[in-house]
Amino acid sequence: MWQRNFRLLWLGQAVNDLGSALTGLALPLVAAVTLRASTFEVGVLTALGTLGWMVVSLPAGAIVDRVPAKRLLMVCCDIGRLLVVLAIPALAAVGRLAIVHVWAAAALVSVLTVVFEIGYWSLVPAVMRREQLVGAHSKIAMTNGLGQVAGPAVAGAMVSALGSAVRVLLLDAGTFVVSILTLLAMRTPPIERARPRRAMVGEISEGIALPARRTVRARLGRAMAGEISEGVAFVWANPLLRRIVAFSSVYGLCDGMAAALLVLYLLRQLDASPAVVGLVSACGAVGGTVGAALAAPLSRRLGTARLLWLAPLACGAPALLIPAAWPGHGVWLVAAGVFVPSFGMVIFHVLQISYRQAICPAALQGRMNATVRWIIRSGRPPGAILGGLLGTGIGLRPTLLLAALGSWLSAVVLWRSDLRGLKDLPLTDHVGGAATLRSKDGARPDRPGGTGESSRRGAAALP
């Protein structure tokens, strides 16, 4: 049953990723080509597309942990996203489409995606054993990359063929339907619900210094705020998770700057066609797909701890090729500048999410995932706004140079840590024994969605 459930979950998300990639490129093209939006307006669109993680991720994590029927919650999110995406071509058909409608669609899809993804990442460790997580997330990241490859390429080609980016959004409807059907076909076991707030916080606070422990307990006023605090406390008590989110948040800020300007840079400074824009965007997804395919074998050879800091540090420098590009064949420098960093960051993503899911109790998965993603994703909206402002003020090319430098140098946070002295990421077994996160069979088995060990032990095993 576990493998069947994972295959259904994997299939639905793979098709969903394809639709998300279509929407992710189509909305900026609708703004830039159909509505002739300004640089700042496109920056606002990019910011709104990631705003949900900043606004609703923390309460969404508490809600996901409270709701036993996580799949039904995810189905409702899929239905909502389907209706929002279809509203754009409907408004265009009656001649009423404006930039504010595209902004609203991006914001609503972002909010619904937050709830869906937190539920999704909470389901994965419930249907897979702990020693299978690296392999499972490698597969998920690989199909995500394939969706990112096909989505921009198909979107760019269809815009060129059909003469309208709005029509591309119609393809997204079918992908949401497939996702709904696969979720309904799953037969998952009950997932442990959140325990009483006071008991959970008591366990978590044991791994925190006394002043921080008193601060955590003092802030538990309302039930929702208390449950959110449990996820924050779990992450804060873990030194490695703190470094992971510090690096990822700075990287997200810089990536938001670049994402806000890349389409405009290709269209207006490199004279690229929409089809070429789609192909260049697909190159980044190809890099991510290759990274996902190689994450497990590379981690077996180099070790999960070594690869966690080495991949983003070694693969970040080629982003400097993006602002060095010129019209014509120079556009392929942009392709290389998105391919190699995507390769490294997907490897990093596979390892860090496998690590944090392996050390976290099942009843806390939603809030832990929400906390980490809130910190990481909160940098993207201000990054996109900053990118739009700097792009208007100093130009697209200098802003992209600043973004590339910032994203590369942020990996120093991981490099200057105890990870350099380790081969594999340290864990603590649910039965109390020491363990390490490896990407091969042979680790001590744990039941799917295991719930035994407290965060205090998980924190104590860290560097």
pLDDT tens, position by position, for the chain (463 residues)?
Answer: 457 888 888 888 888 877 777 777 788 888 887 788 888 888 888 888 877 877 888 888 888 888 877 888 999 999 999 999 899 989 988 888 899 999 999 999 989 988 998 988 888 888 777 777 888 888 888 887 776 666 666 767 776 766 677 777 887 777 888 899 999 888 765 554 554 444 444 444 444 444 444 454 444 445 777 788 888 889 988 888 889 999 999 999 999 999 889 999 999 999 998 889 888 887 887 888 899 899 989 988 989 899 999 899 888 889 999 999 999 989 999 999 999 999 999 999 999 998 998 888 888 888 998 899 888 877 888 898 899 999 999 999 999 999 999 999 998 888 888 788 788 887 643 333 345 566 554 343 333 333 333 333 233 232 3
Name the domain count of the chain. 1
- The answer to the question of residue 341 being in a domain is yes
At residue 435, φ and ψ (nearest 5 deg) are: -155, 165
Helix (H, G, I), strand (E, B) or coil at 331: helix
Provide the residue range defining the domain that includes 307: 2-188+198-437+449-460
Tell me, what's the pLDDT at 404? Answer: 94
Question: What is the CATH classification number for the domain harbouring 419?
Answer: 1.20.1250.20
Which token pair is 127?
């249907």
Q: Would you give the DSSP letter of residue 431? A: T
Tell me, what's the pLDDT at 402? Answer: 96
Spatial CA neighbour of 54 closest among 253, 237, 278, 227: 253
- The answer to the question of residue 122 being in a domain is yes
Q: Which residues contact 71 (CB under 8 A, 6 or more apart)?
A: 119, 123, 183, 184, 186, 188
- The answer to the question of residue 442 being in a domain is no
- The answer to the question of residue 193 being in a domain is no
Spatial CA neighbour of 49 closest among 418, 384, 443: 384
- The answer to the question of residue 443 being in a domain is no
- The answer to the question of residue 180 being in a domain is yes
Burial 33-63 (b: 16+ CB within 10 A, else e): bbbebebebbbbbbbbbbbbbbbbbbbbbbb
- The answer to the question of residue 347 being in a domain is yes
Tell me, what's the pLDDT at 35? Answer: 86
Tell me, what's the pLDDT at 283? Answer: 86
Containing 29, the helix (H) or strand (E) segment is helix 2-29
Tell me, what's the pLDDT at 424? Answer: 86
In angstroms, the CA 419 to CA 357 distance is 19
Q: Structure pTM?
A: 0.71
